[in-house]
Amino acid sequence: MAKGNKIKGNKQNFKRPKYKKKQKTTDVTSSHTPEKAVQSTQVASTPKATIKNMAEAPEPTLGIKEGKATIVLNATDTLFFRESRPMESMGELQSVFPPSVQTLAGAVRTFIGDQQGINWHEFNAEHELAKIIGYGDNLGALTFNGAWLSYNGERLYPAPQLLMQKEETISRLTISKKSLWCDLGKNVYLPKLADDAQGSKPLENTWLNQQGLNAVLQGTTPQQDSIFKAEDLFTTESRVGIGRDNATRAVVKSLLYQTEHIRPKEGLGIELDVAGLPNDMATSAIVRLGGEGRSASLSLQQKENKLPKSPTANGNTQGIILYLLTALKFKQSGKDWQPLPDFEKQETAEQTLWIGTINGIELELHSAITGKATRDGGWDLAKHQPRTANPLIPSGSAFFCKIKAGDDINTALQTLHNNQIGEQTEYGLGHIAAGLWQK
């Protein structure tokens, strides 16, 4: 370009695009972030139709038995399920994985409503569809069980917290033979490491397949090929976000946040056993799931419960260990701490016990191994407000019990195994498995 020459730019009339005002939505979904109502995008060929009379619903397209199926969710990118801390709290917001059933149930209920062509602006507790999907905390005809992780089609279960690892060696915590005077009572028998397992660490963020869980229920330890750690199943990614004024669509100055996203590895899915599904459910769809409305594929499958059968007691069995497969929720009553619902403390000269009944079996609780309490929390989209964050006893907790009187131990094992205790069992909480407490 010759010196002194100047290029004059052509001025153009630029008009700022006008955006349509967003409409408010009312929904029944639950999420860990205060997002707007989560909608699903249908990809199946089932046509939408508003059902005025549920008795006039079309014949089943799945052939599902008694409205039961397993819903499998697979991430199409990363997923974010915010912990109970608010967005404005300090530090990176962690993801809860697998997510709470309330979050998954919200996505499923929204999917069913979209399939029925529901107008969410008109939906309320009196709507005909509310008999199926409920409204707010009421689930209607639906019940859920899970959530379970599934890797390459194989269902995984949370590793019990009595399992410890030192290098490649897996061991089990035992109950001390000497009682201690502590905050729980005068003669409490606490868990202890075996002498040859000193230096072992808990198996945190770890899952077992069916063979591994069966070994634990039998009173032994799982093989290494039955153990799946978090790094085997998914990775985490940190994301930085900005605050935005939804009215002006402008960035809010000095407002940043950092979140942890989950990126599942190929073959990892989330399974949810559901009963009470309507007859005309589509078999697949793309839905929005969790915080930030991340997308995931949803499919309905006919899968049998792969939980191992209850073990059989032998001459070395002294009691039963109850394992929590999903978190447990119940209200504490009285001044003394309760390890299980409706269990009462009993002090004797020899030992501090907790006495209670589960499914008609009267038990003596001798000791327990529980992890840090978790909190369910979340966002209630029906009421447009945060849910109360309630403490939960985490999955993987183990409770060492003996039969108090009369009942045969094998009968007790069959009665207690694969049942639920506590509150909100319709959300899958309080799912227990019964194993052997060996001498």
Lowest mean pLDDT among 13-22, 144-153, 288-297: 13-22
pLDDT of 8 > 60? The answer is no
Range list of H helices, 195-236 = 210-217, 230-233
| Averaged pLDDT for residues 355-381 | 87
Q: Which residues pair with 368 in a beta bridge?
A: 399
Tens of pLDDT, residue by residue over 25-44, are: 434 333 333 333 333 333 33
| Averaged pLDDT for residues 304-323 | 90
Element (H, E) at 115: helix 101-115
**Site of tokens 């942890």:** 260
- No. of helices (H) and no. of strands (E), the chain: 5, 30
pLDDT of 155 > 60? The answer is yes
| Averaged pLDDT for residues 329-343 | 86
| Residue 125 DSSP symbol | T
pLDDT of 17 > 80? The answer is no
For strand 174-175 and strand 284-289, is the pairing parallel, antiparallel, or unpaired? unpaired
Q: Is the Cα dihedral 236, 240, 245, 247 positive or negative?
A: negative
Element (H, E) at 8: none
pLDDT of 213 > 80? The answer is yes
In the chain, % of residues over pLDDT 70:
83
Contact 294, 78 (CB under 8 A): yes
**Cis preceding linkage at 158, omega within 30:** no
192 C-beta neighbours (distance < 10 Å), count: 14
Contact 203, 163 (CB under 8 A): yes
Most confident of 146-160, 180-194, 363-377: 146-160
Compare 165 and 332 and report the one with higher pLDDT: 165
pLDDT of residue 220: 95
Most confident of 164-173, 333-342, 374-383: 164-173
**Cis preceding linkage at 147, omega within 30:** yes
pLDDT of 170 > 90? The answer is yes
> How far apart, in whole angstroms, are the C-alpha atoms of residue 103 and residue 84?
13
pLDDT of residue 9: 40
Contact 266, 74 (CB under 8 A): no
Average pLDDT, the chain: 83
| Averaged pLDDT for residues 395-413 | 90
Lowest mean pLDDT among 97-101, 105-109, 231-235, 303-307: 303-307
pLDDT of residue 273: 94
**Site of tokens 């309330």:** 102
Contact 209, 155 (CB under 8 A): yes
pLDDT of residue 39: 36
pLDDT of 65 > 70? The answer is no
What one-letter code names the amino acid at 413?
L
pLDDT of 241 > 80? The answer is yes
Contact 134, 163 (CB under 8 A): no
| Averaged pLDDT for residues 291-313 | 87
In sequence order, the 6+-apart residues with CB closer than 8 A to the CB of 197 are 164, 166, 169, 171
Contact 111, 117 (CB under 8 A): no
pLDDT of residue 303: 77
Band of pLDDT at residue 115, cut at 50, 70 and 90: confident
pLDDT of residue 378: 67
Q: Residue 231: which of 262, 274, 199, 198 has the closest Cα?
A: 262
pLDDT of 7 > 60? The answer is no
> How far apart, in whole angstroms, are the C-alpha atoms of residue 136 and residue 67?
21
> How far apart, in whole angstroms, are the C-alpha atoms of residue 360 and residue 362?
6
pLDDT of 149 > 90? The answer is yes
pLDDT of residue 37: 35
Question: Could you tell me the two tokens for 264?
Answer: 């599942």
| Averaged pLDDT for residues 295-315 | 88
List domains and CATH numbers for the chain: 30-43+52-155+232-301 (3.30.70), 161-224+307-438 (2.60.40.4350)
Q: Which residues pair with 240 in a beta bridge?
A: 258
